[in-house]
Structure 1
């Protein structure tokens, strides 16, 4: 991606910006509008990903399946994310950002329709798998695209940092919004297993249309590029920094996995909180704290953000574990919110650190590899929890999960801070 010079004494003109080979040039204003269009699509997809979280209890009560089935349904989502990141997460470096984003939004529309027409357990598994495929295709692609659109809209490479903050906030903010919307619609509107999905079919269709108008930012290759799956491989000479970023992202999303899978069930079975809005609001609080913390503390140095993030994440998890032992629901939720604030800071720092390791021509691939590790954190520990719950008490499993994630966060935070 070419660097666009900017005179600090003048505002960027609204004239055409050089386009990638084979693409039509667009104005800075068009790139600015494209930034918001892509951000809206990102928000819609990530929100849709958590809509089912507060609804699992309804499915479970209707069909009578055990908690392990909820874990399997959630795991299908993780398998879809990891699979698509491995197979397609890096392809936007070759084929362009827009085509991959449009494919992702289309997959989410298919998933929403599946939820509407096939809502028994096999249908839930397939719908969540398709949801994960769309999210995995999107995350690295849209993170890179937002940064490139912002740079072309402002004419300043420095604006990429602001785009990184926005991408992180939209990512986690969308996850929080979806859980709240799903819970609220389920609680206050009839047909709770239909209306949330109808709402998102409409939102995703709008997102598809507005992304069509966004400019492309990637050069087409002059010669065909052989296909290969995404490699989880550090850039040459930067292995320590890459794996520190991956571990930080893994630990961060392991916390989020807890609150999008078994936490609503834990609230119902241990604390006897069965209100659908309460379940959605709990997940919303954790993810919203993740998004807000990135904005509130954006002016801190990256090293300070990492250290604060680790303190909040570990401290929040400790409060959550103690509250679970003492059966204090307010402490359980409050600890999750504090941990969520730490997640936001650690996750953003991890993704920013990974993205800074290479130039724009390789950024999509490196980000895809980092997101692949991150979403393994969203999936693998949760599946392990589901399996452990078959033979161990719920409280023991929860405390063990908290200790493991806290250790990973501390180790990753120390290594990231040392390199910030």
Structure 2
């Protein structure tokens, strides 16, 4: 696009590739997130001294922070993301659910707004039918959530969820929903422009998760039919246009064993797994984000997969020992290549992975003409991927790709609860 870039970084990330490759780089503080990547004044100062027109927040830290979006507006710096109002509307799960229901998007049966007491929740749970789930309104990453199988377990679940939510988010508000059995986690990628118009780029299946953290994503989903894809895409556009959404975002759904789908949440940012959508639609999502932020209009066309793609998150973790973090120095590194293989990463041989941030160090993305070919190509790429000096999730991915049920596409978000981790080869 011919746009010059400025990288901001903490002292822990001074040797990261993004710092080397940007046109300019500004250190914004110490390793602790509060002193750097969450320090709004320092980020704004970096933008001002480099005369930056816009800030792309990525997919972590301040990417869904309404206050940061507002401050960018105040300083006449374009936030390449959602407006403060959109972030607030979708950030509060109870408000988001009510907004989507009003737009005609299917939602999971549950409480209207937050529960005020156990006495309010118990009769509602009886009406909906057990099992139900209590969720923190400000939650994320699985915290502040408790499944209740019968009335006798309601009080303990209520107390535990409130306590955890208050500790994690400073907000103990809870709402109640029907617990969806045998769920798939399916998300629809959408793009909206400043005119309030939106389009979708089909679905991603993110059901392979551990403790609500995604490990593998693929598109198209092996579970979704053409008819269901059309319905879910239409619903996602309804939801996005209901709030006049601008930028890249994701409408996330739970799909049950009967292929009934329910709105779960909206992410008002680009997702970690966006590359698989790019590979199957030949569409550059980051470029589109920048264009929309600059005031350009989208075509309004919906995009459907022309290929199959899968992403394996390569984390600096030891999967043979409970996914224990494994920071340290990468002694040797060999990246796989060839047709249909893409790697997004910031590491290199000699790079020291700091212990301060998320453990993901690379994304391995493979595309091909069929899901079967994707699996074969991914296995080959993983076997060629050499990272010496630390433990990684590569052995886990290789074991997963040998699992007959995964190969057949028979999995839900609970799949890894019964996975035989003894099959993982120790590196």
Would the TM-score normalized by the shorter structure come out above 0.5? no
- Give the greater-gyration-radius structure (CA): 2
More strand by share: 2
Aligning the two structures, in what range does the TM-score lie when normalised by the shorter sequence?
under 0.3
Q: Which TM-score applies when normalising by structure 2?
A: 0.26
Q: Which TM-score applies when normalising by structure 1?
A: 0.26
